[in-house]
Chain A
Amino acid sequence: MTKTITAYVPADASAVALGADDLATEMAQYCASAGIELTLVRNGSRGLTWLEPLLEIDQGDGHRIGFGPVTPADVSSVLRSIDEPGSEHELAVGRVEELPLFAQQQRLTFARVGVTDPLSLDDYLANEGYIGLQNALQMSAQNIVSRITESGLRGRGGAAFPAGIKWQTVLDASSNSHPVGKGKYIVCNADEGDSGTFADRLLMEGDPFCLLEGMTIAGIAIGAEQGYIYLRSEYPVAHATLQAAIAAARDRNYLGDNICGSGKHFDIEVRLGAGAYICGEETSLLESLEGKRGMVRAKPPLPALAGLFGQPTVVNNVITLASVPVILAKGAQYYQNFGVGRSRGTLPIQLAGNVRRGGLFELPFGISIREIIFDYGGGTLSGRPAKAVQIGGPLGAYIPEPMWGTLLDYEALAEIGGMLGHGGIVVFDDSVDMLEQAQFAMQFCAIESCGKCTPCRIGSVRGVETLEKIRANEDRESNLILLDELCETMRDASLCAMGGLTPFPVTSAVRHFPEDFGGEQNA
């Protein structure tokens, strides 16, 4: 009897960057020559990045046994090992669903990511997909919006604004007269420019229908017929996955005219950015979608009232929108039962940088920084002591070891002068030079500033120069004071958070790591 197996090799960008495509090719070739009947699924990544490429094999009993990280050269020994009872391959990790670091998570938004075939609509439907939409189609617009408000869902893109309140504003607004704009719009912010973050990418590559469903529910809730996904150009795998998923959803009437026979219309187009960090800022993003330079707009008017092409627009992050289906499927209370304080639900924490077990862990808000770095991450990859973490992307603060008892929730981090942002945590060991990190923060702002206001455009360039002088021990004391004043001006007088938040990584580095700004050592 020929042996039959189902094997899973992620098509996720991180797995591919670590050799998953070659692994998939080798699996197919080896099985063909060994007479094994292979069903090969290119799933998403489970987020256990240290195990990528993670090969999972199901021999027909429904259990997926994991091996990782696997190279093409390991294929023959792995496949031989599954035939020998009692033998344990050195790359074997056991049943993947039972791995403690996977099983301990609360995968609400990422429930299907890594499990299903991202482009199989049947797989999606068989795993609770589109239940939220079916429920929404039976509800009034107001009831859908109220359910989002009650769930406590806050925007996951950085500012943590309550999603329900934003939707309510757009629901209550009427469209404006405009030469191009029609009706209202749903815009998904998939620019994910923050370094150290990749949750949006993992979701789009691992479960694209979940995002499409969330956007469709949003469209029905606020009365929009057109949605856009503004995707950064650095994500080619996500781009291809989204395009294919949109085509499949249109084919089966989950997008387009008369969605699921409801008489409602909603469609989605993907638009690519072009390598500008500032286009993650929502008004800059809208300018870019309109085909213009990504210059930040002054607020008011709020995008909710006059956004894309002058029309009322919901702009939400990928994870915000991808959390909508589960809320509509299982109820506001179910979602809101997770979390602490005013941070409700779960957060996909992205652990990156110098860490042994980097990846994505979806957990209720309220785990401490230390638990994430050590219990999940296993400490630094280099084996040297961890010195600092940067949380919340390039505009987030550097946080020193004594503060790692702080819980990951929006308010707790704000209290220590930090920002949770999109939930990315980058770990640095003790070889990091914090003056260099502070200087990079200023440099990045100088490169990516849209140029509209002076504190950001000029202040950041001055910041780089001033830090250079501090490094050279040139008038160190007065230059540190000058740096502080520069930061204050940027914080208070910038139009948007690019200039407004760049001081956070800078001043946190100076305050918490004064030894790196000491002059003598650096002179």
Chain B
Amino acid sequence: MSQTKASVSELVRHWQDVPGGLMPALWSIQNAFGHVPSHAVPEIASILNLSVAEVHGVISFYHDFKTEPASAHSIKLCRAEACQAMGVRALETFAEQRLGVKFDEQGPLVCLESVYCLGLCACAPAAMVDGKLHARLNEQKLGKLIDECESTEAGAHD
């Protein structure tokens, strides 16, 4: 734990004198640990001269910041209009059933997350799996990506 703490302060100190440095500081922590651990919050607050409430407020406002350790793999499926037009609603059901989780719940191995547009709307439906982009998905392709997640322990988190 003490090692984690030291690293948190190292990461945050980098942003100490940067105007509006809280967001990049949170990103650097999440990139290093996969989430923003709650025990890190007081330290972030004190280094950046903010209140604990302010830091909590920011973490909770943004969908991307996670406060719990992330599953080994993440599948972010785009659920927005261009992907809907190409049948993503059926893929949503397919993915939930295959993985046995609901959207935006932590699964034991895979977290299935909603995103609204990946900018791949001309080759929809699209997803980001462990930071890698995939387009023109169908059940077969998505099924294969799920298989790959389930057959390996840990993925690279973006």
Interface residues of B: mostly helix, strand, loop or mixed?
A: mixed
- Residue pair B121, A180 in contact (C-beta under 8 Å): no
Q: With contacts A276-B62, A444-B116 known, is A352 near B124, CB below 8 A?
A: yes
Q: Cβ of B158 and Cβ of A290 under 8 Å apart?
A: no
Of B63, B80, B86, the residue contacting A381 (CB under 8 A) is B86
Q: Please determine whether A17 and B123 come into contact, CB atoms closer than 8 angstroms.
A: yes
Quick one: given A196-B82, A274-B62, A428-B85, are A52 and B23 in contact (CB under 8 Å)? no
CA A241 – CA B84 in complex, angstroms?
29
The residue from B24, B48, B82, B131 contacting A195, defined by CB atoms under 8 A apart: B82
CB neighbours of B27 from chain A (8 A): 272, 274
CB pair A353 B61 closer than 8 Å: no
Question: Is B21's CB under 8 angstroms from A18's CB?
Answer: no
Q: Is the CB of B119 within 8 A of A13?
A: yes
- Is B81 located at the chain interface by the 8 A CB criterion? yes
* Residue total for A at the interface (Cβ-Cβ under 8 A): 62
Least Cβ–Cβ distance between A194 and chain B, in angstroms: 7
> Per-residue CB proximity of A17-41 to B under 8 Å, as 1/0?
1100000000000000000000000
Q: Which residues of A contact B65 (CB under 8 A)?
A: 274
Q: Is A85 an interface residue (CB 8 A)?
A: no
Within 8 A of A (CB), among B112-128: 115-124, 126, 128
Task: Return the CB mask of A370-414 against B: 1 if under 8 Å, else 0.
Answer: 000000000001000000001000100000000000000000000
Determine if B86 and A354 form an interchain contact, defined as CB atoms under 8 angstroms apart: yes
A14 touching B135 by the CB < 8 A rule? yes
Q: How far is the CB of B15 from chain A (nearest CB, A)?
A: 9
Write the nearest CB–CB distance from A383 to chain B, whole angstroms: 13
Q: Are A195 and B80 in contact (CB under 8 A)?
A: yes
Q: A17-B120, A351-B122 known; A394 and B81 CB under 8 Å? A: yes
CB distance from A399 to the nearest CB of B (A): 13
22 A-B residue pairs with CB within 8 Å: A14-B120, A14-B123, A49-B122, A193-B116, A194-B117, A195-B80, A196-B117, A198-B120, A235-B119, A274-B65, A275-B63, A276-B61, A276-B62, A276-B63, A289-B20, A309-B19, A352-B121, A353-B82, A426-B121, A429-B85, A437-B81, A444-B116
Footprint of A on B, CB under 8 Å? 19-24, 26-27, 48, 54, 57-58, 61-65, 78, 80-86, 89, 115-124, 126, 128, 131, 133-136, 158
> Apart from A17-B120, A192-B117, A275-B64, what are 14 other A-B pairs with CB-CB below 8 Å?
A14-B122, A181-B19, A192-B119, A193-B116, A196-B81, A197-B121, A234-B115, A273-B64, A290-B20, A350-B122, A390-B81, A394-B80, A426-B85, A440-B81
